Amino acid sequence: MRTLAEKIRNGDFVVTAELSPPKGTDLSEVFSKAEFLSHWVDAVNLTESPRALMTIAPIAVARLLLERNVESIVQMTARDRNRIAIQADLLAGAVLGVRNFVFMGGDPPVKGDHPDAKPVFDLTASQMAAAARALTLGRDMSGKALRGAPELFFGATVNPGAVDLQAEIVNTQRKIDAGVRFLQTQAIFEAATLERFLDVVKPKGVAVLGGIIPLKSAKMAAWLNEKLPGVHVPESLRRQLEQASGSEAELKTGVEIAAGTIRDIARLCNGVHVMALGWEAHIPAILRSGGVRR
């Protein structure tokens, strides 16, 4: 089977999905979901203590999924590590066969379940990418030679709907210059948002995976608009969900909205990243209706 890196390099339209490892050691649910999704997606993102809620480290889960023939992308945040630990974990992942990483800042600890934890944020996402690239070339961030260079395939996150769009564009360019091979975006609900962003960034040679969050209800749409900076669910979509009568109608409407977004943005990007937030069972229907899987 071809790897995610090979598919992206070949120009395939790729699909990734997102799963959160548990708070604890019972991995049965994440194994079950990952194995189900492996028939529909090219790789599964494993989050790292999302919203600063402590969970098992994703590198370990990624290794165990690899043994089940499921390819993962490990999310790595700057929140919890300094540059020594970041490089050490990248090397550790590589020797375990885990080579796909996506870099991001991470949510501040004060928002999570350990609010007294000290935030690190030693490096930015673009600096993490630069460190990863240096490792693949056989040197650490201080310029010292490695005894064996890792194979890594890494990307970063971007927000095409950011409130300060110019700052986001500059930051995205830093990530591209640092050597990322793919970009996963924040949730998109209007193709124009992504198109405007890409017209300026022009990420030649870097795969862009448009973010998809299926809407479960009108209440969820309102919550996203209020709580996620840079995410805008149009009023027309919120009304569609409001008019759906009953849970089954809401489900059908949410699936079709997500599929419609995929159809709208497919011409603009190199793939999609589906953040189902508990709706993993409906990803096949979304992808089929979106025209990217049969």
- pLDDT tens digit string along 155-166? 999 999 999 999
Is residue 232, in this structure, part of any structural domain at all? no
Chain-centroid distance, C-alpha 165 = 20
Is residue 272, in this structure, part of any structural domain at all? no
Query: Do 221 and 190 touch, CB atoms closer than 8 A?
Result: no
Is residue 121, in this structure, part of any structural domain at all? yes
Other CB atoms within 10 A of residue 157 CB: 20
pLDDT at 127 over 90: yes
Nearest to 160 by CA among 232, 100, 216: 232
Helices 28-37 and 58-66 sit at what angle, rounded to 10 degrees? 50
Question: Domain residues for 75?
Answer: 4-158
Give me the numbers of helices (H) and strands (E) for the chain, helices first please. Answer: 11, 8
Nearest to 173 by CA among 197, 154, 151: 197
pLDDT of residue 247: 78
Query: Do 269 and 209 touch, CB atoms closer than 8 A?
Result: yes
Is residue 101, in this structure, part of any structural domain at all? yes
pLDDT of residue 13: 98
Domains identified in the chain, total number: 1
Is residue 10, in this structure, part of any structural domain at all? yes
pLDDT, tens digit (0-9, with 9 covering 90-100), for 60-76: 999 999 999 999 999 99
pLDDT, tens digit (0-9, with 9 covering 90-100), for 18-57: 999 999 999 999 999 999 999 999 999 999 999 999 999 9
Is residue 85, in this structure, part of any structural domain at all? yes
Residue with tokens 């049965």: 28
Instruction: Round to whole Å and give the CA distance between 162 and 186.
Output: 9
- pLDDT, average across residues 181-189: 98
pLDDT at 245 over 80: no
pLDDT, tens digit (0-9, with 9 covering 90-100), for 186-236: 999 999 999 999 999 999 899 999 999 999 999 999 999 999 999 999 999
Helices 247-265 and 191-201 sit at what angle, rounded to 10 degrees? 30
pLDDT of residue 246: 75
pLDDT at 268 over 90: yes
Is residue 266, in this structure, part of any structural domain at all? no
Residue with tokens 């992504």: 194
Q: Structure pTM? A: 0.96
Is residue 288, in this structure, part of any structural domain at all? no
Chain-centroid distance, C-alpha 8 = 15
